[in-house]
Amino acid sequence: MLTLKEIQKQLESRIFHIVGETADDMGYECYVVGGYVRDLFLERHSKDKDFVTVGSGIELAKAVAKRIGKGAHCSYFQNFGTAQVKYRADELEFVGARKESYRRDSRNPIVENGTLDDDLSRRDFTINAMAISLNAANYGELVDRFGGLDDLAAGVIRTPLDPDITFSDDPLRMFRAIRFATQLNFEIAPNTFEAIRRNAERIKILTRERIATELSKIMCSPMPSIGWKLLRDAGLLKIFLPELEAMAGVEVVNGRGHKDNFYHTMEVLDKVAAADTNCNEWLRWGALLHDIAKPQTKRYDEKAGWTFHNHNFVGAKMLPRIFRNLKLPLDERLKYVQKLVELHMRPIALVEEVTDSAIRRLIFEAGDDIDDLMILCRADITSKNPEKVRRHLENFEMVLEKMRIINEKDNLRNWQPPIDGNEIMAIFGIGQCRAVGEIKNYEKDQLLESETPNDRELALKLVLEKGASLGLTPTLRP
């Protein structure tokens, strides 16, 4: 963590002087505040710079834009009293110091002008409630009313005021607490965490979009499991994603138990996150939801023990409803997650019986997503028994290697059978109809079973064969 001295050096950047001098000219107190200050100490990249002034944020923003001159663009929201100046890569947010009071019966606060202290005390956490002065008289002076610096050093998330009030005023802060704990690998202070548990029901008044934004940040953290475990322990998970909550726990029949699928999922998710350093959020959702249908499909019988037949297919079918509830996108991203969930057991099944045709079929079905699927599958190998893990991984590597060889040879990634639908229609002199699809599927299936999926002669033979079985005769010899 940087010291205050080092921070003051960072504040030598021209933009802070421009803002400070402009505020001085207007006779306003002005501070850089919130996430930007926190991230400075943590040496974390911060996208936007937030400024608070004891005066009009909008007037200050306009004056700053004017002072910067060419290239600066100011926009503002009169109703909210906030303004933004864009200049090169910088996004500068301005707001006047405010005091907010909430009433139990309304979600919208009453906002009035306030002092810097009023403004800092309405912020969510002590680590987000620090400000650094930009006025010439005390440039670089830290204002830390709630021990934010100590909490930063100790790695603690704590509300500045009574946490029950903070969370009940704006329940989104409960998600934010867990999100920051996950991103920064911080602890949530015990009394702050207890207040989240007490106020959990209040999240019902939030829009799902706001929740989704926080979940997305949890997902893209280095160890997303921290967040999901906290969400569960705090009692939030069962409210907004009961399907995941249902995975927790172990049932024992006649002395035989199955894995705790929630904790297994957490392990898989973290392993995927470790392999996926650029954060493909949807691959991570695939990891989170790959076993989501295990509770529904769980059966016990004396011979087979615990089974979860077809949980991959049932799981893929559950996803549209889950995505709709969470306000996640219902487009090709949903389809991609469905594909991962549906196929997640195939590569492991190959370990037991690895034939070339089974590998070809998998490469064809996974298409461009095969690498992501393999990341998920490798992560899915978890067990308390290290010997078992080692053996599985070894087999898995063998499948990967075979896959590489076959793909090099047949280039199956974007494979299409050599004779397409148009050609089939021409060969038999028919228009679009069911037979065309049947013939094409037969051609595709048989080619993937064969050693030579790109062989045109073989493809033609198959097409004619299937056509004949459907009573069609070729009118054209291609």
- Nearest CB to Mg ion, comparing residues 183 and 265: 183
Pair 184, 158: CB distance under 8 Å = no
- Residue 129 and residue 117: Cα distance in Å, rounded? 9
Q: Which of 50, 151, 291, 443 binds ligand ATP (CB under 6 A)?
A: 50
Q: Binding residue for ligand ATP (CB under 6 A) from 18, 54, 134, 172?
A: 172
Cβ neighbour number for residue 90 with a 10 Å cutoff? 14
Closer to ligand ATP by CB, 166 or 261: give it. Answer: 166
**Contact of residue 29 among Mg ion, ligand ATP, none (CB under 5-8 Å per partner type):** none
CB contact burial 322-350 (16+ within 10 A = b; e otherwise)? bbeeeebeeeeebebbbbbbbbbbbbbeb
CB of 190 to ligand ATP, least distance (A): 21
DSSP assignment of 268-322, as one string? Answer: HHHHHHHH-TT--HHHHHHHHHTTTTHHHHEEEETTTEEEETTHHHHHHHHHHHH
User: For ligand ATP, which stretch binds (CB under 6 A), given 61-69, 73-81, 170-178, 289-297?
Assistant: 170-178
Choice between 44 and 107, CB closer to Mg ion: 44
Q: Under rule CB under 6 A, how many of the chain's residues touch ligand ATP?
A: 10
Contact string (CB under 6 A) for ligand ATP, positions 18-47, x = contact: ----------------xx------------
At 180, list the tokens: 């920051």
Residue placing its CB nearer to ligand ATP in the complex, 166 or 312: 166
CB 297 within 8 A of CB 314: yes
Sites of contact with Mg ion (CB under 5 A)? 35, 48
In the complex, the smallest distance separating the C-beta of residue 143 from ligand ATP, rounded to whole angstroms, is 13
CA 180 from chain centre, in angstroms, equals 14
> Per CB under 6 A, which of residues 110..169 are in contact with ligand ATP?
123-124, 128-129
Q: How far is the CB of 293 from Mg ion (least distance, A)?
A: 37
Decide if 177 contacts 192 (C-beta within 8 A). Answer: yes
End-to-end CA distance of the chain: 72
β-partners of residue 77 are 82
Residue 171 CB, shortest distance to ligand ATP, in Å, is: 9
Q: What is the C-alpha to C-alpha distance for residues 65 and 70, in angstroms, rounded to an integer? A: 9
Q: Tell me which of ligand ATP, Mg ion, none is bound by residue 121, counting a contact when its beta carbon lies within the kind-specific cut-off of 5 to 8 angstroms.
A: none
Helix, strand, or coil (residue 72)? strand
Q: How far is the CB of 326 from ligand ATP (least distance, A)?
A: 19
Smallest distance, Mg ion to C-beta of residue 36, A: 7
Residue 170 engages ligand ATP in binding (rule: CB under 6 A): yes
Q: Strand 48-54 vs strand 110-113: parallel, antiparallel, or unpaired?
A: unpaired
| 199: its two tokens | 């106020």
Token pair in block for residue 21:
């001098």
Of 181, 191, 243, 241, residue with least CA distance to 217: 181
The only residue of 158, 173, 258, 361 in contact with ligand ATP, by rule CB under 6 A = 173
As measured in angstroms, the least distance from the Cβ of 31 to ligand ATP is 12
Q: Which is nearer to ligand ATP, 170 or 443 (CB)?
A: 170
Q: Output 128 or 192, the one with its CB closest to ligand ATP.
A: 128
Quote the least distance from Cβ 129 to ligand ATP, whole Å. 6
Binding site for ligand ATP (CB under 6 A): 34-35, 50, 123-124, 128-129, 170, 172-173
